[in-house]
Structure 1
């Protein structure tokens, strides 16, 4: 049975999509076109010149379509302006195409969208940056137009083909879609072009998106298994280019057209949402194309999806969001984020707090790399002082789209500070600014289309001091100190604060360099944390599987766990330790660019990761390949922890399956607890002036005695049967 346009998107995006929307309604809500003017355009008697149509018809390739298309659309837009009695020479969008550059340049630029609408012209033979693209136009040369079949592969194209998460500001906007499955056992992740991928490019450092269960979407293993097939789909580039536009700057959505020979489909893609107007054939209905061209031309910066709080220049007084015809910033680096809200604490060198908060962007730490999930962007910034100058101390601004139902990170941190001893605050991020925007406050274009939009997500901004990565700790001893600080604070937050972090990764364990040369570990990124449910001693696992796959606990990754327990986060600490031993060069303060062959599959599908972690637990040879400088950590920490985890998982699962009375799944029957974990590495945990660990040790002793009695009873029963 042929799937309809609406059926396809309903399955792919669930409730967060709108298909076959009336064209005028689309233009009004998405591009801000006055509905009265739109209706006038639809009623105009417009024609396309036969010569242009003939040239378009005879075009023998996609690039050959560009010239005729540009000619007929420019004339059509001029006709509309004349009919509306508007100046024909009014500022118009500039349509850039691959025809505008030399053949050699075109070849090297093959992954860019066929056509893009720009705010202003650019010099001949120069490439437009993704940051300033206003609209995308994807053209397909197809004598038999397929129309809405573009969306038959939309999900895979848009959700799971992700961009290289580069930190440099791009000038040449080439795109290589991410391949998540290592192509060999050589420790290399490759793209479909055969280009070798580094760890950072493969996304291991920054994967923090929610995993939706198959209640709305297919499980990740199915999505990724089809990746090679999907990237060959002729319409995938629409979504890939949308990701590039969203990643190049601070942008909420991007819109454009799919022109499949004669068939036109207007669309808008944002994080977690897609809206599509009904398709039409422009040769038989030029008034609809005229409406689209006029609306796209009149579309201002806000309706084009650009964040109005990102400015090219800092405001003198209150921020003035740029939502007008003026184009976006050319580069996010060197630009300014401005918020009409003061910070919560002053800069260390100051006693006053400016009434508005302004950040100058000095670098990009992370860009959004997919169209589904939190869409996290992280910028290195400096904050403006009361004097108007900018601080010398670097900070970090994080923008993301978490589910609104999750407690805001600033509230989690405030709760922990109210519940925990003051001396523990040194291991929390020093958050000094937070802000939340709802879709209504952002005036997102699809908010009026129905009461179910944007997946229940909100935009949250958080700022804190800049901290170093784990591999920048400077020495093995500093790494161990930072790792232990985070481990012990994590237990304190769980036991006393009743909060479970749930998203531990190598990028969430940070390092603060102290003036005396020592380091503190900073447990960062609490935006996925939740309060512990005392009835289950953990957090119930919902449709959204939270965590970074490479560091997720085995049974959470596999989908067997119904509750996220503290022991799952202990397992994540272990995987972070193992990953570090394979990749970190502590004296050089660097990490290897490509994943080691022994753990390369941690970057792969769910099945790959599960198989690799199972091998890690069962094969003694795996961990023997760690770096030479980590051999001491291997013997003192990694091997004892591996034995603890492996035995606890094996024996605990046996007790659970066997229905052992009093079995506590939250600790594998007392086998995997905080005290067991630190005991395995012979570390005496700090008490924080609170713990004596007597209750924990008594519980562990009781569990050991119960198992001993059960074993003795079994042996006695076996003896009697003999």
Structure 2
């Protein structure tokens, strides 16, 4: 099970550059070589899906879940900050020096709030962990240096030099110091309030107001807060709550804060990748300017910028709301538990506090009960059922789009209705084939899994965000299986036919002898945004196809297969690769389905008792029905394929989109020959990296193909050079393959390269607009499944179909 890829590949799928010597532990998605690379990719990824100017009041109530009445009480409090300390704070020399006084301000404000509300300070669950940007939190082979994070007090590091885990980080704070901000400028106030403050200060010629005595700056928010409650902005206009000088300030400040949003986003990615996290809330502090930010797989939502020296009550409100978040409201997966809710001898009660996030993923549990209770706004409960494996109504929504021209609005307090069209389309495509699909034995079906290891983690944000765990399944007797399974959690587009539907359709229409080449699924569950109660649903955002991608969260569990490099021998490798090639064509020719995301991690190996193997073609969540391949998807929202294995035509189309900056053009068609080209690249990749005897893959990218892992233009250029280059030069490169792949290089790779070179020659000399008879799907018949198999001198199976019929395409 797999997924993933960068902005040059469409928003929501960032691709990270990689250089020679980089690790290839998870080659389907190349880890960024630096934080700067990650920021650059994220800025492009997030841009179209960012919604700004949400009122702080609505952010606190709908995103952080604080009771509206409490919000109003806090905003009405005459909270103040010591003006002398504020003046000293803004004059500090460096960004790191802001951290300690900011924490003092936060503690003072929270003390005032708990006192004003008459509640115990024990309600405040959080503590700051201040790294000052100097300590790395490591995850998945890379380190990030956040400025400051919040944690539950019980999960703070126990030593002074201790470092927390991303799995337990609650919120993230990113600091920036505006050195030009010389002092706390006065907010707009009624004359009598303005006179009261001016009487407290002597105004110097430079550096802003200077303190005359220890006094506190009066908060101007004692005006009625009813306006704040109704000031959520849905049209991108300036929010009436804002008095910030930022709104009319210099472009440099806006640019700086936008940069900070992407930097904050890189830490959010770590939080979400480290565990099964659904969303993360963070805060940008640029001296006294504050922006609260929310991130999930759909969108980024930012509240209106404010200055806490002008509006300390707003900062107090956010801090109090952040403290009161339980783990589910902070975006942690309620199904991920440190221990079972129903302990067994295999998983006994151990006294672990289940109200805290899971710290160590290994050994923890995903518990998907037949009817989960999801807490909704206002305290109501929603029953959520486990989907059947033949889920014919996958992605069902509660209603149709309400607005014309693709606009989907989420009125405050209303229901979100975003996937009705996709549901109707899916039902149209699936028909009765899905209804009559294979169903697992209910007694063997389990919704409880113990994590053995983490196979794959996402490195992107607004995307599929695929995570794969190696797990054991809980059996009806309460014990956990000896066999391993793969549990995949991902966020595919709701408009796509589900992976489970594709697999079931293929099992319905393809001969039984081919079913071993498909993953054997034992569990499936799907949640819509509404099922998950995503916090932005009540914000009244104006959504359309340009600023929103409708996604679902889907969980699938299947038999755990070996990786392609674990085939055991060159003969087994060749058999597994051939099985996947032949099944890919079978799915296309008879099943009417194209896979469209072939990579080394999607070609799996099923070992057989006699020591031989079968190839399994996995991860069908990017697959489409052939009849629907020419869908009107914008290129900017489109990605099919994993970059190192992506066909050259598709890379060129993406590169051209980036050069011209045109995201309104439609995505290029994906032909069967593009999947065949991906299979060719997998073969080359394996020849340079696989150690079949040891069952390992080299840690470093071979220089011959390192360009495949770089940005899109270098990727395309490297592949084009290989395909179009002189035969002698290419042969010299192929001499460097692993010794056990020498025969494969001579018998398969070299002739296939000649085939693709010939197809490119035909394509480059044809003009589709002028030559109406030209067939671009096969380069005028040069590149088909039959010519592909002829090139490697393998007679393909016909699976019982007449040869002239089966090989007719």
Residue number in structure 2 paired with 1:123 = 158
- Structure 1 residue 593, shift from structure 2 partner: 1.1
SS of residue in 2 equivalent to 1:596: coil
- Structure 1 residue 17, shift from structure 2 partner: 2.6
The answer to whether structure 1 residue 396 and structure 2 residue 486 are counterparts is yes
Residue number in structure 2 paired with 1:616 = 722
Residue in structure 2 matching 1:64, options 97, 104, 113: 97
Residue number in structure 2 paired with 1:210 = none
CA contact under 8 A between 2:502 and 2:620: conserved in structure 1? yes
Residues 693, 625 of structure 1: alpha-carbon distance in 2 compared, 3 angstrom cutoff: farther
CA contact under 8 A between 1:504 and 1:548: conserved in structure 2? yes
- Structure 1 residue 695, shift from structure 2 partner: 7.3
CA contact under 8 A between 1:67 and 1:99: conserved in structure 2? no
How do residues 555-574 of structure 1 correspond to structure 2 at under 5 angstroms?
A: 555-559=649-653, 562-574=668-680
- Structure 1 residue 302, shift from structure 2 partner: 1.8
The answer to whether structure 1 residue 691 and structure 2 residue 802 are counterparts is yes
Residue in structure 2 matching 1:431, options 497, 505, 521: 521
* CA-based RMSD: 3.1
Range moving further from structure 2, 464-473 or 551-560: 551-560
- Structure 1 residue 505, shift from structure 2 partner: 0.6
Cα distance in structure 2, aligned partners of 1:234 and 1:689: 60
Cα distance in structure 1, aligned partners of 2:76 and 2:591: 65
- Structure 1 residue 340, shift from structure 2 partner: 2.2
- Structure 1 residue 466, shift from structure 2 partner: 0.8
- Structure 1 residue 343, shift from structure 2 partner: 8.5
The answer to whether structure 1 residue 413 and structure 2 residue 528 are counterparts is no
The answer to whether structure 1 residue 331 and structure 2 residue 360 are counterparts is yes
Residue number in structure 1 paired with 2:536 = 446
SS of residue in 1 equivalent to 2:66: coil
Residue number in structure 2 paired with 1:29 = 62
Unpaired stretches in structure 1, ≥5 consecutive residues: 1-8, 147-228, 319-323, 700-722
Q: Any idea what the Cα deviations from partners look like across 1:542-579, whole Å, max 9, x if unmatched?
A: 53131111111111111188321111111111111111
Residue in structure 2 matching 1:507, options 597, 601, 625: 601
Cα distance in structure 2, aligned partners of 1:352 and 1:115: 47
Residue in structure 2 matching 1:644, options 736, 739, 755: 755
Residue number in structure 1 paired with 2:398 = none
The answer to whether structure 1 residue 316 and structure 2 residue 342 are counterparts is yes
Residue in structure 2 matching 1:525, options 605, 619, 623: 619
- Structure 1 residue 142, shift from structure 2 partner: 2.2
Cα distance in structure 2, aligned partners of 1:554 and 1:517: 37
Residue in structure 2 matching 1:466, options 548, 557, 560: 560
- Structure 1 residue 412, shift from structure 2 partner: 0.5
The answer to whether structure 1 residue 552 and structure 2 residue 646 are counterparts is yes
Residue number in structure 1 paired with 2:313 = 287
Q: Any idea what the Cα deviations from partners look like across 1:21-66, whole Å, max 9, x if unmatched?
A: 1110111111001112111111111112345435534533222222
Number of residues of Structure 1 aligned to a counterpart in Structure 2: 594
Residue in structure 1 matching 2:77, options 36, 40, 44: 44
Cα distance in structure 2, aligned partners of 1:588 and 1:231: 50
Cα distance in structure 2, aligned partners of 1:110 and 1:465: 33
Cα distance in structure 2, aligned partners of 1:20 and 1:427: 50
SS of residue in 2 equivalent to 1:693: helix
The answer to whether structure 1 residue 276 and structure 2 residue 366 are counterparts is no
Cα distance in structure 2, aligned partners of 1:554 and 1:60: 51
Q: Any idea what the Cα deviations from partners look like across 1:145-186, whole Å, max 9, x if unmatched?
A: 59xxxxxxxxxxxxxxxxxxxxxxxxxxxxxxxxxxxxxxxx
CA contact under 8 A between 2:123 and 2:324: conserved in structure 1? no
- Structure 1 residue 289, shift from structure 2 partner: 1.1
Unpaired stretches in structure 2, ≥5 consecutive residues: 1-41, 183-254, 345-352, 371-385, 390-439, 657-666
SS of residue in 2 equivalent to 1:641: helix
Residue number in structure 1 paired with 2:682 = 576
The answer to whether structure 1 residue 19 and structure 2 residue 52 are counterparts is yes
Residue number in structure 1 paired with 2:693 = 587
Q: Any idea what the Cα deviations from partners look like across 1:427-464, whole Å, max 9, x if unmatched?
A: 11001111110011001111222263851111111110
- Structure 1 residue 616, shift from structure 2 partner: 0.6
Residue number in structure 2 paired with 1:142 = 178
Cα distance in structure 2, aligned partners of 1:101 and 1:563: 47
Cα distance in structure 1, aligned partners of 2:537 and 2:109: 31
Residues 15, 239 of structure 1: alpha-carbon distance in 2 compared, 3 angstrom cutoff: closer
Cα distance in structure 1, aligned partners of 2:135 and 2:763: 66
CA contact under 8 A between 2:362 and 2:453: conserved in structure 1? yes
Residue in structure 2 matching 1:256, options 278, 282, 299: 282
SS of residue in 2 equivalent to 1:429: coil
Residue number in structure 2 paired with 1:495 = 589
Residue in structure 2 matching 1:304, options 313, 322, 330: 330
Residue number in structure 2 paired with 1:239 = 265
Cα distance in structure 2, aligned partners of 1:44 and 1:325: 35
CA contact under 8 A between 1:365 and 1:380: conserved in structure 2? yes
- Structure 1 residue 234, shift from structure 2 partner: 6.2
Residue number in structure 2 paired with 1:176 = none
- Structure 1 residue 271, shift from structure 2 partner: 2.0
Residues 325, 625 of structure 1: alpha-carbon distance in 2 compared, 3 angstrom cutoff: closer
Cα distance in structure 2, aligned partners of 1:422 and 1:51: 79
Residue number in structure 1 paired with 2:394 = none
TM-score w.r.t. the length of structure 1 is: 0.77
Residue number in structure 1 paired with 2:660 = none
CA contact under 8 A between 1:506 and 1:576: conserved in structure 2? yes
Residue number in structure 2 paired with 1:202 = none
CA contact under 8 A between 2:526 and 2:555: conserved in structure 1? yes
SS of residue in 2 equivalent to 1:642: helix
- Structure 1 residue 15, shift from structure 2 partner: 5.9
